[in-house]
């Protein structure tokens, strides 16, 4: 799967663009979404060059897969959303309106998030 090294999250990982960091370790970086859809809206991205979930799940090494899941867990804890509840979203491809072609998981919380999906247009 082709990976675009000029995507905005790759630039954040290289330190070329700033972010509001929430958590970082060897496997992942978590930062606040620039256009939050809820009081808590954090993005968690792996450090490796993976375009989307399928690319990550099929190509990443076992330590990367486990490390990313643990980083996601630590970010959820840091965000303080466990008690109230939260939603994890990973958009993949055209139908899901994926904007940035670097695998990421959205953590949304801090309010009642409503139904899982809006009505189709
Ligand atoms: P997706 O549609 O799942 O690809 O979501 C991409 C997300 O990245 C959107 O929610 C954007 O608001 C967010 N985003 C785009 N650029 C930045 C940035 N420089 N810093 C933080 N979040 C960003």
pLDDT for position 121: 62
> pTM for the full model?
0.97
Residue of 41, 102, 104, 106 with catalytic role = 104
Rounded-to-integer distance, Cα 106 and Cα 121, Å: 23
Q: How far is the CA of 90 from the centre of ligand 1 (A)?
A: 12
Q: How many CB atoms neighbour CB 95 within 10 A?
A: 7
Q: Is residue 120 part of a domain?
A: no
Are residues 28 and 43 in contact, defined by beta-carbon separation less than 8 angstroms? no
Q: Is residue 117 part of a domain?
A: no
Q: What is the pLDDT of residues 31-41, one digit of tens each?
A: 999 999 999 99
Rounded-to-integer distance, Cα 117 and Cα 57, Å: 24
Q: Is residue 55 part of a domain?
A: yes
Q: How far is the CA of 62 from the centre of ligand 1 (A)?
A: 26
Q: What is the pLDDT of residues 42-71, one digit of tens each?
A: 999 999 999 999 999 999 999 999 999 999
CATH of the domain at 89: 3.30.428.10
Residue from 15, 16, 30, 34 whose mutation best tests the ligand 1 pocket (most atoms within 8 A of CB): 34
**Per-residue three-class SS string for 13-49:** HCCCCCCCEEEECCCEEEEECCCCCCCEEEEEEECCC
How many domains does the chain divide into?
1
Where does ligand 1 bind, in terms of residues with CB under 6 Å? 8, 17, 19, 33-35, 43, 91, 97-100
Q: How far is the CA of 101 from the centre of ligand 1 (A)?
A: 10
> Domain range spanning residue 52?
8-109
pLDDT for position 52: 98
Q: What is the pLDDT of residues 7-30, one digit of tens each?
A: 999 999 999 999 999 999 999 999
CA dihedral 33, 34, 35, 41 (to 10 degrees): 20
Question: Catalytic annotation on 32?
Answer: no
């Amino acid at each position: 799967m082709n990976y675009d090294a000029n995507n905005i999250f790759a630039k954040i990982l290289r330190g070329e663009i700033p972010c509001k960091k929430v958590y970082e370790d060897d496997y992942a970086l978590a930062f606040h979404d620039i256009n939050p859809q809820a009081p808590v809206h954090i993005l968690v991205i792996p450090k490796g060059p993976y375009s989307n979930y399928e690319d990550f799940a099929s190509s990443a090494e076992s330590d990367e897969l486990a490390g990313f899941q643990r980083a996601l867990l630590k970010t959820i804890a840091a965000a303080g959303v466990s008690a109230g509840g939260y939603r994890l979203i990973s958009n993949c491809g055209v139908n899901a309106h994926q904007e940035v072609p670097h695998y990421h998981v959205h953590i949304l919380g801090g309010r009642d998030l409503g139904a899982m999906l809006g009505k189709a247009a």
